[in-house]
Amino acid sequence: MAEGENEVRWDGLCSRDSTTRETALENIRQIILRKTEYLLSVKETPYRSSEAGLLNAVSLDGLNKLLAHLLMLSKRCPFKDVREKSEFILKSVQELGIKIPRPLGHGPSRFIPEKEILQVGSEDTQMHALFADSFAALGRLDNITLVMVFHPQYLESFLKTQHYLLQMDGPLPLHYRHYIGIMAAARHQCSYLVNLHVNDFLHVGGDPKWLNGLENAPQKLQNLGELNKVLAHRPWLITKEHIEGLLKAEEHSWSLAELVHAVVLLTHYHSLASFTFGCGISPEIHCDGGHTFRPPSVSNYCICDITNGNHNVDEMQVNSAGNISVSESFFEVEALMEKMKQLQECRDEEEASQEEMASRFEIEKRESMCVFSSDDEEVTPARDVSRHFEDTSYGYKDFSRHGMHVPTFRVQDYCWEDHGYSLVNRLYPDVGQLIDEKFHIAYNLTYNTMAMHKDVDTSMLRRAIWNYIHCMFGIRYDDYDYGEINQLLDRSFKVYIKTVVCTPEKVTKRMYDSFWRQFKHSEKVHVNLLLIEARMQAELLYALRAITRYMT
C-alpha cells in the first residue's frame, strides 16, 4: 500500500462535465479511504519490525501528499462541486483519526491582504470562464493567476500564451518545455516556479533523474545553460557565437525552431520569476511551505508560521514604509500628477535636439547603475534550486562596471515590431502574435486612474517605466526624452524596479510598501506587469538580434 500520489488520476476534475468530475472524485475518495484504513490497521498492529515502520512512514507520506492536494482543491478549484466534495473527503479522513492539513499564510500574496484579492467562488461569469480555462489547462488555479486577476484582460492573454508555449504543438517535446522552465526559474532561485514545474515535468513523463541536477539531463539541455545564464543576468553580452555553439553541436545540436522556442520559454520564466518575487507570491497550498499538519495555536498561528513570514494579518498591516503619514503620501500623488502636467506643457512648447536626447539617455543609463537594492548582499541559493543550473556565483552586473563598455542597442536598428516579431513567427508560428498581443496589453493597459484620482492620462508614466527598464538594459529609443524618467520615478520606485527586474530574489515587502504608498494594490500589480513584459522584450531583443546576426 506504499503507493505514491501517481496512482490517483486528478485529470477528470478538470473536465467541464460534472458527471466526469463526480466519477473522478468518487475514485479519489475510495483510494484515500483505502489508504487511511490501511494506515489505521498498521497502527493497531502490536508488533512492528523496522521495515514495517518504514513502510508505514512511506504510506503516510503518500497519503499526506494526497490530502494536501485535496486541501488545494477545496480552496482553489473553480468548480463548486469539487471544492465541496474535497472538503467532505478531508473531514471524513479526520473523523477516522488521521491528521489533515490546513493552509499556511494568508492568501496568494504575502504583500497584498487576502481580503483584497478575488476569492474563488465569488467570481462573475466572465471571470469564472477564465478560471475554468486556467484550471482545465494546468489542473490548478495558481497564486500567480489569482494575483494577475486584478487585470483580467492581461490575464487572459498571459494564460493563452503560456498554454501555447507549454502544451500546444511546437518544436520542443513537453518534458523539455517544463525542464527549461525549471532551469530559467532556478537562475533567480525561484523555488515557487521550480516546484510547480517539477510536478508538471513528472506529470508529462519527464525522467526523475534529470531533477537530481543539470548534469543528469541530456547534453543538449546542458548546453542551454550558458544562454540561460547570460540571458537572465546580462543579456547585452549575448553574441552570434552563443547561437552558433548551440546550432552546431553535432549530435546535440538545436534546430533554429527549437532554439527560438527555448529562448521564448527562458525569457518567459525569467520574467515570471520577477513577477513572483515582485508581488510576494506565496507557495501553493499543496506545495512545501503552503500547508501544515500542525493544529493552529490559540492565537490562530503557530511559530512555524512566523518563521515563514506568515504573521497575523493585522500585524502585517503595520506600515513598514517608515511610518509615513497619510497626508505625506497623499502629497506624493499630487506632486507626481503636477510633474506629469508640467512635462506635457514642456513637450508642447519645445522639443530637445537629437544630441540632447542622446546625452540624456547616457546620463540616465549611468544613474541607473547607481541604484542598488537596499538589501544588496548576495543571496545564497538553496541546493534544491541551485542543482538545476551551473555557475551559481554568476549574477547581475551593470554593463559598464569594471571599465567594460557595451554599445547602446538602438531600437530603430533592431526592434520587436519590425524584426523580432517576424523572426519568432516565422520559426515558431503564432507565438510572435501571442507575445505581441501580451506586450501591447501590458503597455497600453489603463483605467485612467491614479490612486484616488480619475480621468487621468497615465501614458507618460507607463512609458517612463517601460523605457527606464530598457535603459537599464542599454536599449535606447531615439524619440524619447530620458529626462522625463528622473522627473516621474522617485528613488524608492527605481530601487523597486531595478530589484524586481535584475535581482528579483532580493525583493522585500518593505520595498513593495515603500513606493507609491497611496496607490491601490491593483495599481502595483499593474506596475509589475509592465516590469515583466519590458524585461521579457529586452531579453528577447538581445537573443533574437544574435540569432538574426548568425543567420545573416
Radius of gyration of the chain (CA): 25
Residue with cell 541559493: 381
Active site residues: 190
Decide: 21 and 13 in contact? Cβ < 8 Å: yes
What's the distance, CA 112 to chain centroid? 16
Determine the Cα–Cα distance for residues 499 and 220; give it in Å rounded to an integer. Answer: 32
Determine the Cα–Cα distance for residues 402 and 385; give it in Å rounded to an integer. Answer: 29
Beta strand extents in 358-474 (DSSP E only):
409-410, 449-450, 453-454
Q: What is the DSSP string of 193-253?
A: HHHHHHHHHHHTT--GGGGG-GGGS-HHHHHTHHHHHHHHH-GGG--HHHHHHHHT-GGGP
Close Cβ partners of 310 (under 8 Å, ≥ 6 residues apart): 104, 105, 106, 110, 282, 301
* Number of other CB atoms surrounding residue 282 within 10 Å: 28
Close Cβ partners of 453 (under 8 Å, ≥ 6 residues apart): 333, 337
Determine the Cα–Cα distance for residues 101 and 190; give it in Å rounded to an integer. Answer: 24
What phi, psi does 103 have (nearest 5°)?
Answer: -65, 150
| CA distance to 60, 479, 491, 530, 531, per residue, from 463 (Å) | 54, 12, 17, 9, 11
Determine the Cα–Cα distance for residues 174 and 183; give it in Å rounded to an integer. Answer: 15
Decide: 146 and 521 in contact? Cβ < 8 Å: no
Sign of CA dihedral 47, 52, 57, 62: negative
**Element holding 292 (H helix, E strand):** strand 291-292
Cβ-count burial of 179 within 10 angstroms (0-12 exposed, 13-18 middle, 19+ buried)? buried
